[in-house]
Amino acid sequence: MTDPTAREEMLARIRAALGARPPAATAVPRDYQRVGSLGRGSAEVLDLLADRLEDYRATVVRVAGPDGVPAAVGALLAEVGSVVAPEGVPDAWLGAITADVRRDEPALTHAELDAVPAVLTGCRVAVAETGTVVLDGSAGQGRRALTLVPDRHVVVVLADQVVHAVPDAVAVLAAHPERPLTWISGPSATSDIELVRVEGVHGPRDLRVVIVGRTSS
């Protein structure tokens, strides 16, 4: 399908273009903040995450510790008929759910998934400064389609998963760069019509985040 000479010719063109005077190879100055100033999972960083998520119109529920998760999740899913929870979501989180809990085994078809109104997942890391939750498809997060097609996404964020700044998150994710990554900052949105922001287009229109503090009972 691809002409093998295309590759060689393009590489040759690039080398010729750089030719006699390539740009001087200079060291990249990395004087920007490579580590956030707020501690991972600290009270300040959780407050900042909540603030930034709400700023982008996500629903935020704070619970003091893991014990509070089931009730919070139950309340956030109170009126839906069914919810899909991928493998790895702790059973404890499902304790107060009245909805029918679907599993992705065998994998749901697109049409089946389209009929499920909500999804419940954990996350890999969250960035407080930007109000971002990152999923990497590992346990409790499911394949990408699961968190995309249902209209409501409830995501549980544990204190230790919350970092301050973007570089902190990139450092965490660098352990498994090959995993499919989805960075989510608020519900889907568009500003394409007269720059008026409309929340909720193709992705989940309703993002609900449970931020879990470090207090245990």
Partner 1 sequence: MSTYLGMPTVRPHPDTPPAAPLRWGPSFPQAARQTLRDEQLRANLRTATRTIRDKRRRVTAELGDWEQLRDAGAAIKADVMSRLPELLIELEANVTARGGVVHWARDAAEANAIVTGIVRAAGAREVVKVKSMATQEIGLNDALAAVGVDAVETDLAERIVQLAGDMPSHILVPAIHRNRAEIQEIFAHRMGDAPPGLSDEPRALAMAARAHLRARFLRAEVAISGANLAIAETGTVAVVESEGNGRMCLTLPRVLVTAMGIEKVLPTFADLEVFLQLLPRSSTGERMNPYTSMWTGVTPGDGPSEFHLVLLDNGRTRALADELGRQALHCIRCSACLNVCPVYEHTGGHAYGSVYPGPIGAILTPQLLGLGDEGGPFGAHDPTGSLPFASTLCGACYEACPVKIDIPSALIHLRERALHPDGGHPPTATDLAMGAAARVLASGRLLRLAGRAAALVGRVTGGRPIHRLPWPGSLWTRVRDVPGLPRRSLSAWWRDRGSR
Q: Which of residues 1-20 bind partner 1 (CB under 8 A)?
A: 1-3, 6-7, 9-11, 13-19
**Is 176 in contact with 136 (CB distance < 8 Å)?**
yes
**Is 124 in contact with 172 (CB distance < 8 Å)?**
yes
Least separation, in Å, of the C-beta of 161 and partner 1?
16
Q: Which of 76, 89, 127, 211 binds partner 1 (CB under 8 A)?
A: 127
Q: Which of 95, 114, 115, 139 binds partner 1 (CB under 8 A)?
A: 114
Query: CB-wise, 36 or 66, nearer to partner 1?
Result: 36
Dihedral sign for Cα atoms in the order 208, 211, 216, 217: negative
Least separation, in Å, of the C-beta of 149 and partner 1?
8
Q: Which of residues 145-174 bind partner 1 (CB under 8 A)?
A: 145, 148-149, 166-167, 170-171, 173-174
Q: Report which secondary-structure segment, H or E, holds 49.
A: helix 43-55
Task: Tell me the CA end-to-end span of the chain in Å, nearest whole number.
Answer: 62
Q: Within 13 Å and on the Cβ side, how many CA atoms surround 161?
A: 19
Query: CB-wise, 19 or 216, nearer to partner 1?
Result: 19
Q: Binding string to partner 1 for residues 68 to 107, with x set by CB under 8 A, is what?
A: ---------------------------------------x
Dihedral sign for Cα atoms in the order 130, 131, 134, 139: positive
